């Protein structure tokens, strides 16, 4: 569910910060459960959550799925360098990447590479097919460098508050 945001900055107080921390840890807490944890009644907590949503501090609510149980347990980080650097080429690359369901995150970065991709697939064979059938067909990719995750040590979606 996407929330409408107006990105108007608001002054956060300690209770707002506690609400944000709690929702980061467990986004399906009820208003009643939140109210108990921040020691307020439900109406002001409900109003605060709505205010945080409208102001864009809460972007959306999601369920974090287990990739291994869903047979997408091979995580690959792929660095991509483009052959040319024009706005049109960059925009086309982004459009192409957005259409690939295996790419779950994409960042435009500085340094030796232009983009950093996080890719989830079932195994090396599926990754090979992904590279040959999809990534390799994107125009203006100059080079790629893949790194395969052997073990996940820390994975947090939380923003430090």
Do both 78 and 42 map to the same domain? no
Q: Is residue 106 in some structural domain? A: yes
The residue to which tokens 């939140």 are assigned: 34
- Is 7 within 8 Å of 55 (Cβ atoms)? yes
CA distance 147 to 1: 32
State residue 80's pLDDT score: 97
- Predicted confidence (pLDDT) per residue in 127-141, tens digit: 999 999 999 999 999
Q: Is residue 122 in some structural domain? A: yes
Residue 24: which H helix or E strand, with range?
helix 14-25
Render each residue's pLDDT in the chain as its tens digit; 161 residues.
445 556 667 899 999 999 999 999 999 999 999 999 999 999 999 999 999 999 999 999 999 999 999 999 999 999 999 999 999 999 999 999 999 999 999 999 999 999 999 999 999 999 999 999 999 999 999 999 999 999 999 999 899 99
State residue 5's pLDDT score: 53
What count of other Cβ atoms lies within 10 Å of the Cβ of residue 115? 20
pTM (two decimals): 0.86
Q: What is the largest CA-CA distance in the chain?
A: 58
- Is 118 within 8 Å of 75 (Cβ atoms)? yes
Do both 39 and 88 map to the same domain? no
Domain with 92 in it:
74-148
Do both 144 and 79 map to the same domain? yes
Do both 78 and 129 map to the same domain? yes
State residue 6's pLDDT score: 62
Q: Is residue 68 in some structural domain? A: no
- Predicted confidence (pLDDT) per residue in 134-160, tens digit: 999 999 999 999 999 999 999 998 999
Q: Is residue 7 in some structural domain? A: no
């Amino acid at each position: 569910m996407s929330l409408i945001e107006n990105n108007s900055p608001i002054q956060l107080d300690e209770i707002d910060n506690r609400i944000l921390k709690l929702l980061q840890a467990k986004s399906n807490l009820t208003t009643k459960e939140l109210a108990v944890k921040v020691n307020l009644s439900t109406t002001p907590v409900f109003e605060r959550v709505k205010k945080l949503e409208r102001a864009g501090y809460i972007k959306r609510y999601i369920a974090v799925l287990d990739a291994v149980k869903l047979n997408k347990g091979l995580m690959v980080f792929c660095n991509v360098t483009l052959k040319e650097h024009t706005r049109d080429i960059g925009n086309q690359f982004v459009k192409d990447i957005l259409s690939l369901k295996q790419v779950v995150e994409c960042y435009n970065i500085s340094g030796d590479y232009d983009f950093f991709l996080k890719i989830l697939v079932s195994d090396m064979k599926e990754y090979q097919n992904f590279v040959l059938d999809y990534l390799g067909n994107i125009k203006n990719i100059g080079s790629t460098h893949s790194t395969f995750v052997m073990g996940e040590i820390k994975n947090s979606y939380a923003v430090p508050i």
